[in-house]
Amino acid sequence: MNGISSVRDSPRPGQAHRVVTPEAVAAVEAIVKENCRVTVNEMAAHLDMGYGAAHHIVHDVLQLHKVSARWVPHHLTAELKERHVDACQQLLKRFQAEGDGFLGRNVMGDETWVYYHQLETKKASKEWCHTSSPKLKKFCTQPAGKVMLTLFLDEREVILEHYMSRGNTVTSATYADLKNDLRIALSSKQRGHLSTSVLLNHDNAQPHTARLTVATIQD
C-alpha cells in the first residue's frame, strides 16, 4: 500500500483538458432557449465544439436535463379550469351538507372507444406437429375494429353500458335518447335513485352540453 485512499482519477499526461468560457456557456444557453428540443450533437456541431464540452455545459454548468411532456386528453383554457374548480367546490359543499347520501345520488357518465379482436377458436388454431416440434405460440394481432361505449356508474356499480352501432358516434340526440335507457336501468338496479333526484355528472363535451341534452336531462 502506498497510502493513497482517494478513488478519484488523478491527472495524468495526455488527459483531455476541458476549457469552458462564459461565451461558450452563453452560446449554448441561447441555443437551448431558442429550441428546447435541440440535441447535444446539434449544439456541438453548431458551435464547432466537442460533444464532451457541450454535454458538460448543458448538464454540469447549466444544470439542464430533458424531460418528456406528459400526455393529457384535453387542453384546458383558464376559463375551463376555473369552471372545474367551481364545480369541485360546489360538490364539496353539497357533500359537507348532505353527507354520504349525496355520494349515493351521483351517477357518472362518460364515453370511450373499445377495441375488439376477432379471435379464432382453440380448435380452429390446432396444427399437426411432431412430438419434437416446438410449441406453437399465438400473438395478439391488430384490433379488428372499435365501437363507442357510453358508460354510466355510481359509487357501487356500473348502471348502464351502451354500445353504439358500428360507424356511429355520440351526438346530442343519441345522448339525450339514453335518458330512457338510464331511467330503466336505475329502476331495476337502484330503485332509491328514482325517489331522490339523480345527480348526473359528465364532462363538457359538445353532446353533453347541447341544448337538447340539457333540456332532456332537466325534463
Q: pLDDT at position 219, please?
A: 61
Pair 192, 112 in one domain: yes
CB 190 within 8 A of CB 159: yes
> Whole domain around residue 89: which residue ranges?
72-99
What pLDDT was estimated at residue 103?
81
Q: Do 90 and 156 share a structural domain?
A: no
Residues found in the chain? 219
Contact status, residue 174 vs residue 111, Cβ threshold 8 Å: no
Give the N- to C-terminal CA distance of the chain in Å, as an integer: 91
pLDDT digits (tens, 9 = 90+) for 33-69: 898 888 999 999 998 888 888 899 998 888 888 877 7
Q: Does a structural domain hold residue 113?
A: yes
Residue 164, in any domain of the structure? yes
How many Å is the maximal CA-CA distance in the chain? 91
User: Strands 106-116, 145-153: parallel, antiparallel or unpaired by DSSP?
Assistant: antiparallel
Q: Are 40 and 58 in contact (CB under 8 A)?
A: yes
- Does 89 have pLDDT greater than 90? yes
Q: How far apart are CA 114 and CA 148, in angstroms?
A: 6
Dist. CA 212–CA 26, nearest whole Å:
59
* pLDDT: which is higher, 169 or 78: 78
- Looking only at the bridges linking them, the beta strands covering 106-116 and 199-201 are parallel
Residue 57, domain member (yes or no)? yes
pLDDT band at 26 (very low <50, low <70, confident <90, very high): very high
Give, in order, the Cα–Cα distances in Å from 22 to each of 26, 36, 58. 6, 20, 13
**Tally of domains within the chain:** 3
| Residue 174 covered by a domain | yes
Task: Classify residue 14: in a domain, yes or no.
Answer: no
Report if residue 168 sits inside a domain.
yes
CATH code, domain carrying 218: 3.30.420.10
CA 212 to chain centre: 30
